[in-house]
Chains A and B, each alone.
Chain A
Amino acid sequence: MFSQTIKSQLIKQSVRRYTISSLESAGKTSTLAVKVHAGSRYADKDGLAHLLSRFNFQTTNDKSALRLVRESELLGGKLESTLDREFITLRATFLKENLPYYVDAIANVLYKTSFKPHELVESVAPAAGYDLAISQQNPITLAKEALYNSTYRTDLGKPLLFDGVEEITLDDIKEYANKVYTQENIEIEGFGINERDLQRLVSDSLINTLPKGSSLKVSETPKSFSGETRIRSQGTSVAAISIPVTKESIPEFEVLKAYLTSPVYELVDVIDTVSFEKFNNTHGLFSLYVKGSDASVVAKNIKEVVSSLKKGKDISIAKELAKVESELTNEKSILPENHEALKLDAVKNFKLGKFSYVALGDVSKLPYLDEL
């Protein structure tokens, strides 16, 4: 893996439509990730991406889901399909020598998942329901979901998980799979894999015969709004704000994140979570959460944080830390777009302007957007 890299070659293959990037290492395990621009922002119906992600590694024309699991565990491999707003990621982690098997396994999923009706009812829907239940237990996740929705309304503002509000049929899922699993819409990442082996195996695999389509990747910053959401619920109260970030201000918000999570910021103790999620390295959403069991304390704290940020802060002290943090995150991905050097020179002062706001929990005690 990374630690034992002896020879590292980052190669981008441009002949084919899909992108292959691979980093070789001396370790004994490899990870192969196929990232499909098919996350929730691209879904035609709310929750469609989630169900498709949960359908990955189910029965294909070649193999039943059972056979795939039983074969894979004997080879020493782990398969997972994860979902975020941008990507559905199919990831296999395995012992190095079994690369051909896993290229094949992922290609099979992309090319010819069977979409058996009973699997939707028996495994996909219950598993999706479980994901939703887990995420709804976490007030921060709920607040983040609401922040995305009030900031972007559509596109990134669509719900991440399937919640049953919109009805989705098996045909909808099939149709979505046909739309997103195309040669132009996928990016292949390899860790601990020789790039030539990977290229050869991929071009011999079904990935090479995937239908032609168009890349869905969104590079321009989506239209954003400054909105407010209030959700009454029992238990923990959360007050949170979010700011849409454009490409030029990505460095500034990387530094802001480092600044707000370090004791150099006087209110660090009242902030529960700071998150900065980037999409295709061209835009992103910055969000900040204050949490507590007593809503009046949460109200006081969010007011203090917002007014201190509105006054303006010199955040340049956290530049170095931001650099380290962003390098550590970048190591997890080798897509070229994530390796543009972070230009931190211009970062100096941060002043909070417009933002979206979410109040969750005992909302009667929490402030309104115009009171902040």
Chain B
Amino acid sequence: MLRTTTSSLMTRRSLATVAKTIPKVEVTELSNGITVASEYNPNAKTSSIGLVYSAGSSAENPYNNGVSNLWTNYFNHAGIQKEATKEGFLLSSNVSRENQSFTINTLPGNSQRALGFLQKNFISQLNSLESQGTTFNSIKQNTLKQLVNFEENNHKGRVMEHLHSTAFQNTPLALPTRGTIETVETLLPEDLTSFANEFYHSKNTTIVATGNTTHEELVKAIDTELSVATKSVSTPISKSTFLGSEVRLRDDTLPKAWISLAVEGESSKSPDYLVANVAANIFGSYVANEPRSRLQGIKLLDSIQEYHLCDSFNHFSLSYKDTGLWGFSTEISNVSGIDDMIHFTLKQWNRLSVSITETELERGKALLKLKLGQQNGLRARNAALLGTELIENGGLYLNTEEVFKKIDSISIKDIKNWAGKRVWDQDIAISGTGQIEDLLDYMRMRNDMSMMRW
């Protein structure tokens, strides 16, 4: 327990690589394995403070899928919210595939109280869920309601979840972050407790603070307020692997078609992480109804606009510990043009390996820089983002200045090499819902991943 050990054992070890290059982000590792990270901004009017565990839905298994989501809902349940209102705390919690966060927004100077609140209402309750039967049932009902709402209304999100489950089938990344209605219905308080015992321990814990909280204040507050369970060995999460495959959820009662298609992308610590992101931004995103979006310098738009092949598209490069997804999502109301939409998009992807131009590359770089710069600005309000960066990318992209230099140095040759390895003639994962009768069979699309002439 931290409370008993810190006084004598708290040897602060700064992560030299991080600390040297980024003066504003401070990271300390405590002797019991907890990582403490802060980004202090003396001018901020609020602080964000919280816990990030490096275990999300990929730490679950097909039988307890959804436990993380239930913990998130536990953090937001009425009992805790009521206490939070009295204290003046704004709570939020989020589950993703590889981490989960529990954070509090508050006025400056409250870090001690905030951590005390987390300890009393969350950490110390991790083992006592069995005795809170009614609370558990209401949390479960709320979660199920959210799941039904997601399944019925968020087609784009649903397609992305299914893209993960087909691309990474039978490996941990395949599990949906929210869980499914079927699995959540079967969960018992014991499942949550045993998941917490397995993963919510000091080695998996990052305590984060951004906004108006100094690093010293945070470390001191942890010392007095927090006691996180320690565990000598972390439960290993098995490796996820990509498999070219498809899943079709055809539903002709829906007004449109929603499709996502991807190749295997870069893992989060891969040296090609930024190259893959620049490549995704070269094609960027498009919304047919926005006049300025129609004028963008994306060559793909020439083919799309003439026949209104899609309502919108968005290219992504998602990275996880072992692997990633690089591809695009699209929403199509012209459902008889799906084959053309996919064909022309994949033909543009071919160009990454053969004929991408200097201008297109510069455009992609500029857009990526803007996105990264903006994301870094969001951390002050949401400390969880700092934790996520550290857990997923090891803090590699926290120093915007350095990252911008790296982006600047990316050349057409880098893009071509990367695309030759990851995109050209590679297997694809496809997921679609809505009116997708016109989505061609797997091999027809797979054949578009290369061409006989260039």
The interface of chain A, by Cβ under 8 A from chain B, is 1-5, 8, 26-29, 54, 57-58, 65-66, 69-70, 73-79, 93-95, 123-124, 126-127, 130, 192, 258-259, 262-264, 268, 317-321, 323-325, 327-328, 330-331
Contact = CB atoms under 8 A, between A and B. Distances in A.
A3 B39 contact: yes
Contact of B376 (A3, A5, A126, A320): A3
A123 B85 contact: no
* A28, A126, A330: most-surrounded residue (chain B CB, <10 A): A28
Interface of B: 24, 39, 41-46, 78-79, 81-82, 84-90, 105-107, 210-211, 289-292, 294-297, 359, 362-363, 365-367, 369-370, 373-374, 376-381, 400-401, 404
Given A3-B379, A93-B370, A324 B88 contact: yes
A3 B380 contact: yes
A3 B45 CA distance: 11
Contacts of A1: 373-374, 376-378, 380
A126 B84 CA distance: 46
Leading 7 A-B pairs by shortest Cβ distance: A320-B88, A1-B377, A76-B366, A3-B380, A29-B373, A123-B291, A263-B78
Contact of B289 (A2, A76, A127, A327): A127
A75 B370 CA distance: 9
Nearest to B359: A74
Contacts of A123: 291, 294
A179 B107 CA distance: 42
A2 B42 CA distance: 10
Given A127-B290, A323-B107, 19 more contacts: A1-B380, A2-B43, A2-B381, A3-B39, A3-B377, A29-B373, A57-B292, A58-B291, A73-B363, A95-B366, A123-B291, A130-B289, A262-B81, A263-B81, A263-B85, A317-B85, A324-B106, A325-B90, A331-B46
A76 B367 contact: yes
A5 B43 contact: yes
A204 B87 CA distance: 50
B47 to A, nearest CB: 10
A264 B297 contact: no
Contacts of B359: 74
A130 to B, nearest CB: 4
B289 A75 contact: no
Given A57-B292, A74-B359, A324 B370 contact: no
Contacts of A268: 78
Contacts of A74: 297, 359, 362-363, 366
A327 B86 CA distance: 17
A94 B370 contact: yes
A295 B32 CA distance: 56
Nearest to A27: B377
Contacts of B79: 263
B44 A2 contact: yes
A264 B291 CA distance: 46
Contacts of A323: 88, 107
B45 A69 contact: no
Nearest to A330: B45
Nearest to B24: A4
A5 B377 CA distance: 10
Contacts of A94: 370
A77 B81 contact: no
21 contacts: A2-B380, A4-B41, A5-B44, A28-B373, A28-B376, A28-B400, A78-B370, A79-B292, A93-B370, A95-B373, A123-B294, A192-B377, A262-B81, A262-B84, A263-B78, A263-B85, A264-B82, A319-B88, A320-B85, A321-B89, A327-B46
B328 to A, nearest CB: 18
A353 to B, nearest CB: 25
Given A2-B41, A73-B367, A75-B366, A29 B377 contact: yes
Contacts of B294: 123
Nearest to B287: A130
A45 to B, nearest CB: 22
Contacts of A54: 291
B86 A331 contact: no
A317 B211 CA distance: 25
Contacts of A259: 85
Nearest to A331: B45
B296 A321 contact: no
Given A3-B39, A321-B90, A73 B45 contact: no
Contacts of B42: 5
A317 B86 CA distance: 6
B379 A327 contact: no
Contacts of A4: 24, 39, 41, 376-377
* B85, B211, B289, B401: most-surrounded residue (chain A CB, <10 A): B85
* B295, B365, B379: most-surrounded residue (chain A CB, <10 A): B295
A79 B373 CA distance: 16
* B46, B84, B291, B376: most-surrounded residue (chain A CB, <10 A): B291
A8 B380 CA distance: 15
